[in-house]
Amino acid sequence: MTPAIASAILPLLRRMDPERAHDLALRALRLGLAGRSRAPDDPALAMTVLGRTFSNPIGLAAGFDKGATAAGGLMRLGFGFVETGTVTPRPQPGNPRPRLFRLEQDNAIINRMGFNNAGLEAYVRQLMTLSARPVPLGANVGINKDGADPERDYPALIAAVAPHADYAVINISSPNTPGLRDLQGERQLRAILAAVAQVPNRPPVLVKVAPDLSDDGLAAVVETCVTHGVQGLIVGNTTISRPPGLQSPHAHEAGGLSGAPLFALSNILLARAFLLARGRLTLVGAGGVASGADALIKIRAGASLVQLYSAFAYQGPALLPRMKAELAAALKEAGFAGVRDAVGTLARELGARQLSGL
C-alpha cells in the first residue's frame, strides 16, 4: 500500500471510535501496510543535532506508538525521526474510556489516556526486535500513576532504553497523571536530573515541558537542564488550557488539548525557551504543526526539529511528502539555504524588538 492509499482509508477510520481507529492504524503500520517512503529528502532539510544527522526535521511525537509496536513501519514512512512511548516502569491500563476525543471542527484532539502502556519490559523487547533504525528513534519515559518514585524511576527507565534509542525524553508534562507536571518545579526537577546524570552510557537526554509553564517556570527549567547536562527540550506537550473560539462539542472534555489551537501558544513558549537557552539546548517544537509553513514558523521560533501528532492522526502518511516539499519551498522562498540557517531567526527578531522597547 502506498502512503496515498493509506491516507485515502482515513475517512473510513474517522467514522470509527477514535481509539479503535488508532489501534487499527497501528496494526496496519506494524504489518507494513501503510507504505514506505523511498524518495530521498532534499538536502536543505538535513539537520545535525543531538549527535545524529536527521535527513529532515519532521518527526512523530510521543504517544502515537506508546509501546513501540509499530516503530519499524513508522520509521519508514518518511519521518525524519520517530519518538515512541511514553513508557512507564510497570504496565498500566490508563484512564477509563472514552478518553480520546476528536475535535474535528477545530483540527484538534483532547486526550486523557493516562499513560496506558504495556510497561518497560515489553517496550524494550519491542525495541530489540528492530533490525535497524533507518531514522533516529527517541524513547519517551514517564512514571506510573501509583507507587512511583521519580528519582528512582527516571534513571532506571533511561538506563533500560539507552542501548536501543538515539535520544531519551523525560516526560514531566502530560496532564493525565496526577502530580506529574509538578515535577517541572525547580527542586523536584533538579533531584531527578541529578539522578539521571549518574546513568552510564546514556543517550542525549531531553525534557518535555508543558505549554502552560509560566515565564519564571520556564526560565528555571532551562537553567536546571543546562546545569545538569540535559541536551534539549521538547516544547511541548498538550495544554490544559482551552483557547477561545473552540467549536467542537467535545471542547470541554477533561484532558490535554493538541492540534491547531495549540500552535500559537506553543510557539510563544518555544521562542521564549530559545532566547533563554542561548544556544545551550537543542529545542524540538511540537504543537499544532500541519504544514511545511507551520514547520518553518516553529523552526524560526527556535526549533531545530519539529514533531507532530494530531495532524498526522487526521491526515495520515500522505501528509509527510507534502510537508517536506512545502518546507523546502518555504525555506527557499524566505532566502534560507537550509533548516539550520532558519533556526531561531524569528525569536531573535522578537527578542531584539522587545529589548529595544518596540
SS3 224: helix
Q: How far is the CB of 63 from ligand FMN (least distance, A)?
A: 2
Given the complex with ligand FMN, which of 56 and 140 has the nearer CB atom?
140
Q: How many binding residues for ligand FMN (CB under 6 A)?
A: 26
308 Cβ contact list (under 8 Å, min separation 6): 58, 59, 60, 61, 286, 289, 290
Residues 167, 138 contacting (CB under 8 angstroms): yes
By CB under 6 A, tell whether 308 contacts ligand FMN: yes
Q: Reply yes or no on whether 174 is catalytic.
A: yes
For 43, 88, 180, 261, 336, the CA distances from 61, given in Å and listed in that order, are: 23, 17, 19, 17, 26
Given the complex with ligand FMN, which of 217 and 351 has the nearer CB atom?
217
The 87-106 site mask, x for binding ligand FMN (CB under 6 A), equals -------------x------
By CB under 6 A, tell whether 109 contacts ligand FMN: yes
Dihedral (CA of 112, 288, 51, 26) sign: positive
Residues 185, 218 contacting (CB under 8 angstroms): no
Binding to ligand FMN (CB under 6 A) within 147-206 occurs at 171, 174
The 251-270 site mask, x for binding ligand FMN (CB under 6 A), equals -------xx--x--------
Number of CB atoms found within 10 A of residue 310's CB: 28
By CB under 6 A, tell whether 66 contacts ligand FMN: yes
By CB under 6 A, tell whether 63 contacts ligand FMN: yes
The residue whose grid cell reads 509527510 is: 320
Given the complex with ligand FMN, which of 42 and 294 has the nearer CB atom?
294
* Euclidean distance between CA atoms 66 and 231, whole angstroms: 23
The one catalytic residue in 7, 174, 304, 310 is 174
Q: Which residues bind ligand FMN (CB under 6 A)?
A: 61-63, 66, 86, 100, 109, 111, 113, 140, 171, 174, 208, 237-238, 258-259, 262, 286-289, 308-311
Query: Which amino acids are annotated catalytic?
Result: 174
